Structure 1
Amino acid sequence: MSEEGPLKMADVARLANVSMSTVSRALADNPLIPEDRRREIQRIAAEAGYVVNQSARSLRMRKTQTIGVVFPLGHDVGQLISDPFFIEMFGRLADEITTRGYQVLLCRVTDTSEGWLNRIIQSHRQDGLVIVGQSDQHEALNKAADTYLPLVVWGGHLTGQTYCSVGTDNIAGARRAVDHLLGLGRRRIAFLGMLELPEIALRHEGYVRALRAANLDPDPALVIPAHFSFETAYEAARELIESGTPFDAIFAASDIIALAAVQALAAAGVDVPGDVSVVGFDDIAIAAQSTPPLTSVHQDLAKGAKTIVDLLFKRMAGEDAPSATLLPKLVVRKSCGGSPTG
Structure 2
Amino acid sequence: MTDRQPSDARIVVRTLSDLARIAGVSAGTASRALAGNSLVNAETRSRIVALAREHGFRPNQMASGLRRQRTGVIGIAIPLGHDQRQQISDAFFMTLLGHLADALTERGYDLMLRRVIPDHDEDWLDRFIGSGMVDGVLVIGQSDQFDRIEDAADGYRPMVVWGNHREGQRHCVVGSDNRLGGRLAAERLIAGGARHIYFLGDVNAVEFDARFAGASDVAQRLGIGITALPSHLSPDRLEAEVAANLDRSFEPGDAIFAATDTLAVASIARLRAMGVDCPGLVRVVGFDDLPLAAHTTPALTTVRQDIRAGAFAMVDLLIRRLAGEDTESIVMPPHLIVRRSA
| Match in the other structure for 2:266 | 260
- Give the superposition deviation at 1:244: 4.3
**Mapped partners of 1:116, 1:300: distance in 2:** 28
Distance 1:159 1:228 in 2: 28
- Select which of 314, 318, 322 maps to 1:312: 318
Closer, same or farther: CA 242–317 of 1 in aligned 2, 3 Å: same
Matches within 5 A, 1:38-187: 62-112=69-119, 113-187=121-195
Letter of the structure 1 residue corresponding to residue 247 of structure 2: E
Quick one: structure 1 residues 274 and 129, their matched pair in 2 at CA, closer, same or farther if it must change by over 3 Å?
Answer: same
Report the Cα offset of residue 284 of structure 1: 0.5
Residues 1:227 and 2:265 are matched in the alignment: no
Q: 1:192, 1:225 within 8 Å by CA — same for their partners in 2?
A: yes
CA RMSD after TM alignment: 1.7
Deviations 1:294-342 (A, max 9, x none): 1111110111011111111111111111111001011111111xxxxxx
Q: Which moved more, 1:242-251 or 1:74-83?
A: 242-251
What secondary structure sits across from 2:246 in the alignment? helix
Report the TM-score, using the length of structure 2 for normalisation: 0.77
Query: For residues 99-128 of structure 1, what are the alpha-carbon distances to aligned partners after superposition, in whole Å with 9 as ceiling and x for unaligned?
Result: 011111111112443211101111011111
Instruction: Tell me whether 1:288 sits opposite 2:318 in the alignment.
Output: no
Q: Is 1:238 paired with 2:251?
A: no
Give SS of 2:111's match: strand
Q: Does 1:190 align with 2:198?
A: yes
**Partners of 1:176 and 1:130 in 2: CA distance:** 28
CA offset at residue 264 of structure 1?
1.1
Structure with max Cα Rg: 1
- Tell whether the 8 Å contact from 2:139 to 2:160 is kept in structure 1 after alignment: yes
List 4+ stretches of structure 1 deviating above 3 A. Answer: 243-247
Counting aligned pairs with the same residue, the percent is 44
Out of 253, 256, 267, the position equivalent to 1:250 is 256
TM-superposed CA distance for 1:145, in Å, is 0.3
**Partner SS for 2:155:** coil
Measure, in 1, the Cα distance between the counterparts of 2:176 and 2:328.
Answer: 15
Q: Distance in 2 between matches of 1:267 and 1:181?
A: 22
**Unaligned regions of 5+ residues in structure 2, if any?**
1-65
- SS of structure 1 residue aligned to 2:308: helix
The runs of 5 or more residues in structure 1 that have no matched partner are 1-58, 337-342
| AA matched with 1:177 | A
State the secondary structure of the residue aligned to 1:131: strand
- The structural deviation recorded for 1:240 is 2.9
In structure 1, distance between residues paired with 2:243 and 2:108? 48
Residue aligned with 1:105, SS: strand
- Contact kept in structure 1, 2:86 and 2:235, CA below 8 Å: no
Find the aligned partners of 1:232 and 1:277 in 2 and give their Cα distance. Answer: 23
Q: Match of 1:82, as an amino acid?
A: S
CA distance in 1, matches of 2:67, 2:168: 38
Find out whether 1:302 has 2:305 as its counterpart.
no
Is the CA contact (8 Å cut-off) linking 1:128 and 1:150 kept in structure 2? yes
- The corresponding residue for 2:215 is 207
